[in-house]
Amino acid sequence: MLKFILRRALLMIPQLILLSLIIFMLSKAMPGDAVTGAFMSNPNVSPEQVEKIREKLGLNDPWYEQYGRWIGKAVQGDFGQSYVHKQPVTSLLAGRIENTVLLSLFTAIVIYLLAIPLGIVAGRWTDTWADKMIVTYNYFAFATPLFIFALLMLFLFSFILGWFPIGGSGNIRIDPGSWEYIVDRAKHLFLPVMSGALIGTYGTIQYLRNDIIDQKIKDYVKTARSKGVPEGKVYTRHILRNSLLPIAAFLGYEITGLISGSIFIESIYSYPGLGQLFLQSIAQRDFTVVTALVMVSGAAVIIGTLLSDIILSIVDPRIRIE
């Protein structure tokens, strides 16, 4: 057990190093560097001075020295300066990360709140009208592209019906901490969260339904029934115990989806999070920010997958292949 976790955790280290190397190479391929961004447009700085600054910042050193410096600083949480926002990238990210985490967290919670009961109902009462409706809903959830769904939701609920604000994360004039503030934030979060969650249920419902259908005919369930265990208890005590546990583990695998989802959602609802920052920075050629964002997201996915693997190995010993 411990051996599996350790070995799995060790595997993460080369993954992180490789990720950082690739991102570093990409950042070198991006047009312009810290100096071009900061001084090139300034006519008061001569090319010789630029060259001097380059030398001083170490931008003429061999790549591996530059990489070492970059990763060394990145580990300490220093990703350099954003020349568009004129502030350290780290503090820029810190200001936005709360919004994205909040969005992703609520999306994940709503997905589970919707998907688990629906999956159980569909799996327990297969081929009833309820099951058929859930399967149909799930089919739509699977087939609909996120950005289209989000646009349609925005169009319908914000523009036509006017129930929700059309964008942003909250009204800055309201005093933080007041009840009003919370309601206002919730109103701004509701549509983005629902857009992601309503069609994010696919995997969980599909897994639960199939798993319950598989478990239903297993011998241990038949044994429980033949002993006279009431049908409700067969589910709560026996089947669901086996089917629900792995779902907790899947959250880590969902991070990739949540990240790419946040890019679309934040762009459509002008929600000031990391996804929107990423698109803005790309458009403004603010590549220190882009590099930092890709690195942070990549690391988040790697760590999330690691946690999922470990949780899953605790829940389901069969996958713990030595």
From the list 21-29, 116-124, 190-198, 205-213, the region that binds other proteins by CB under 8 A is: 21-29
Question: Which 3 state secondary structure label does DSSP give 154?
Answer: helix
Asked if residue 144 binds other proteins (CB under 8 A), the reply is yes
Asked if residue 210 binds other proteins (CB under 8 A), the reply is no
| Rounded least distance, CB 320 to other proteins, Å | 15
From the list 41-49, 88-96, 121-129, 252-260, the region that binds other proteins by CB under 8 A is: 252-260
Q: What string marks each residue from 148 to 187 as x (binds other proteins by CB under 8 A) or -?
A: x--xx-xx---xx-----xx--------------------
266, 54 in Cβ contact below 8 A?
Answer: no
Whichever of 189 and 290 has its CB closer to other proteins, that residue is 290
109, 193 in Cβ contact below 8 A?
Answer: no
| Rounded least distance, CB 113 to other proteins, Å | 25
C-alpha to C-alpha distance for 97 and 94, rounded to whole angstroms: 5
Question: How far from the centroid of its chain's Cα atoms is residue 296's Cα?
Answer: 11
Whichever of 111 and 302 has its CB closer to other proteins, that residue is 302
| Rounded least distance, CB 14 to other proteins, Å | 8
Could you give the residue ranges of the DSSP H alpha helices within 126-270? 129-143, 146-153, 179-198, 202-216, 219-226, 231-233, 240-268
| Torsion angles phi and psi, residue 88, rounded to 5 | -60, 140
From the list 74-82, 119-127, 141-149, 229-237, the region that binds other proteins by CB under 8 A is: 141-149
Look up residue 221 and give its amino acid. V
Asked if residue 279 binds other proteins (CB under 8 A), the reply is yes
Closest CA to 17 of 62, 94, 74: 74
Whichever of 90 and 262 has its CB closer to other proteins, that residue is 262
Whichever of 234 and 257 has its CB closer to other proteins, that residue is 257
From the list 42-50, 69-77, 145-153, 223-231, the region that binds other proteins by CB under 8 A is: 145-153
Which tokens hold the place of 307? Answer: 């946690």
25-44 binders of other proteins (CB under 8 A): 26, 29-31
104-123 binders of other proteins (CB under 8 A): none
Closest CA to 268 of 95, 111, 148, 110: 148
165, 188 in Cβ contact below 8 A?
Answer: yes
Question: Which 3 state secondary structure label does DSSP give 48?
Answer: helix
From residue 164, give the alpha-carbon distance in Å to each of 70, 71, 160, 179: 43, 43, 10, 18
Q: In the complex, which residues of this chain contact other proteins (CB under 8 A)?
A: 3, 6-7, 11, 15, 18-19, 22, 26, 29-31, 139-140, 142-148, 151-152, 154-155, 159-160, 166-167, 256, 259-260, 263-264, 267-268, 278-279, 282-283, 290, 293-294, 297-298, 301-302, 305, 322
